[in-house]
A and B are shown apart, each in its own frame.
Chain A
Amino acid sequence: MSSTITHAVTASFIALTCSHVAPGATTYVIAALVSGCIVDLDHLPSIIRDWKFYRQNGFTGNMHRSRSVFHELIGLLAVGALSGLLFLNDHKLASIVFIAYAIHLVQDWLLGKTQPFRPFDCTFVQFFKLTAMQKVFIDLATLAVFGGLWILYLSGDL
């Protein structure tokens, strides 16, 4: 849950600042926040289905098991295609949706285990072998930094 919040805060901030959106443009801000965290909804069906496993083993270090293919490279391809369609109508919205989604995926890939080429190849990939404690520390530090940047952005100082 804390990861979802951190990723949403980070991804939406980067998407909004990359696309030069003014803090008053509420539609874009909401779109960025939603795109930055919507992919985590795919955890829910799997968690409900494998509730016993998660109760026994805990969520920490096991969340990669509850990802759908949209949490991997196929998801990036799908959102790329969606952004292509959005681009015909609204350039800014297209880039916000794509960047927010991509940043969320990148954070997940960098900090945890992933199967990027699922369903074609189920090899696990891990950039850095981090302990649960290190992940929590990175999450909190990222949240603090980007929380501060969000305050600056909303107050118009950025």
Chain B
Amino acid sequence: MDTVPVRRPVALPYRKLLGLFERRIILPDISPSYYHLFGILASILFVYTFWLWLKIILLTMVLIADWLDGATARRFNKCCRAGYLTDVLTDRVSEAFIFLSVVGTTLGQIFFLLWMINLILAFYSVRTNKHTSGALRFAYLIILIVRVFS
């Protein structure tokens, strides 16, 4: 049962693009859990943040940490089902904190609702062995960046 759920075809071009960067960067041989821990702590810090630029920086750091944990696991052959579950768990927890902090706004309420759907999709992913989830944090980051420049 130690299988990692496969990505859906729709995510493959994005994975290929990330793979190009992944091959070129230098990664330390550490446990991916350090990146998970960093992602969760940065998400909790996000709740305390009011400054838009700081929110963008924190969210970018969370997304980079999310990418690096997978990249580290792939580079040093640490891919396993438990690692996949840890990654999904971290992502859902991180999203929970990020979207709860903005739940006072209409946009925040929509994203919180989408987070709940994403959480149900996470159960569906482990059940069907096909990874299905929405890139909510990435979408929210784009909205924040657009807001800065508009």
- Interface on chain B toward A: helix, strand, loop, or mixed SS? helix
Q: Write the chain A residue with the least CB distance to B123.
A: A120
A80, A91, A121, A126: the one within 8 Å of B126 (CB): A121
Given A14-B44, A77-B119, A77-B120: A124 touches B82 (CB 8 Å cut-off) = yes
Q: Which residue of B lies closest to A124 (CB)?
A: B82
Give the one of A17, A74, A116 with max B CB within 10 A: A116
Interface residues of A in 63-112 (CB under 8 A from B): 73-74, 76-77, 80-81, 83-84, 87, 91, 94-95, 98-99, 102-103, 105-106, 109-110
**For the complex, is B25 an interface residue (Cβ under 8 Å from A)?**
no
Distance of A80 Cα from B36 Cα, bound (Å): 22
- Taking the nearest CB of chain A, how far is it from the CB of B109, in angstroms? 8
Determine if B104 and A106 form an interchain contact, defined as CB atoms under 8 angstroms apart: no
- In the assembled complex, the Cα of A10 lies from the Cα of B81 at a distance in Å of 30
CB of B82 within 8 A of CB of A117, answer: no
Whether a CB of chain B sits under 8 angstroms from the CB of A123 is yes
In the complex, the answer to whether B126 meets A102 with C-beta atoms within 8 Å is no
Which B residue sits closest to A119, measured CB to CB?
B123
A116 in complex: contacting residue of B48, B85, B97, B100, CB < 8 Å: B85
- With a CB–CB cut-off of 8 A, which chain B residues contact A114? 89
Asked whether A84 and B112 contact (CB < 8 A) given A18-B48, A121-B126, the answer is yes
Chain B's nearest CB lies how many Å from the CB of A90? 12
Q: A125-B82, A125-B85 are in contact. Are A81 and B116 (CB under 8 A)?
A: yes
When the two chains form their complex, are residues A98 and B89 in contact, meaning their CB atoms are under 8 A apart? no
Partner of A127, one of B37, B44, B104, B116: B37
Q: Report the minimum CB–CB distance from B17 to chain A (whole Å).
A: 29
Contact call B103/A117, Cβ cutoff below 8 A: no
Distance in angstroms between the alpha carbons of A114 and B82 in the assembled complex: 10
Q: Which residues of A contact B27 (CB under 8 A)?
A: none
Q: A76-B96, A91-B104, A99-B100 are in contact. Are A117 and B123 (CB under 8 A)?
A: yes
11 further contact pairs, Cβ within 8 A, besides A109-B93, A120-B126, A125-B89: A74-B123, A77-B116, A77-B119, A81-B116, A99-B97, A102-B93, A103-B44, A106-B40, A117-B122, A124-B82, A127-B86
Q: Which 7 A-B pairs have the closest CB atoms?
A: A127-B33, A121-B126, A116-B89, A18-B47, A117-B126, A125-B85, A125-B86
Interface of A toward B, CB cutoff 8 Å: 14, 17-18, 73-74, 76-77, 80-81, 83-84, 87, 91, 94-95, 98-99, 102-103, 105-106, 109-110, 114, 116-117, 120-121, 123-128
* 26 A-B contact pairs sorted by A residue (CB < 8 Å): A17-B48, A73-B123, A77-B116, A77-B119, A80-B96, A80-B116, A80-B119, A91-B103, A91-B104, A94-B103, A95-B100, A98-B96, A99-B47, A102-B97, A106-B40, A110-B40, A116-B85, A116-B89, A117-B85, A117-B122, A120-B123, A121-B85, A123-B81, A123-B82, A125-B82, A127-B33
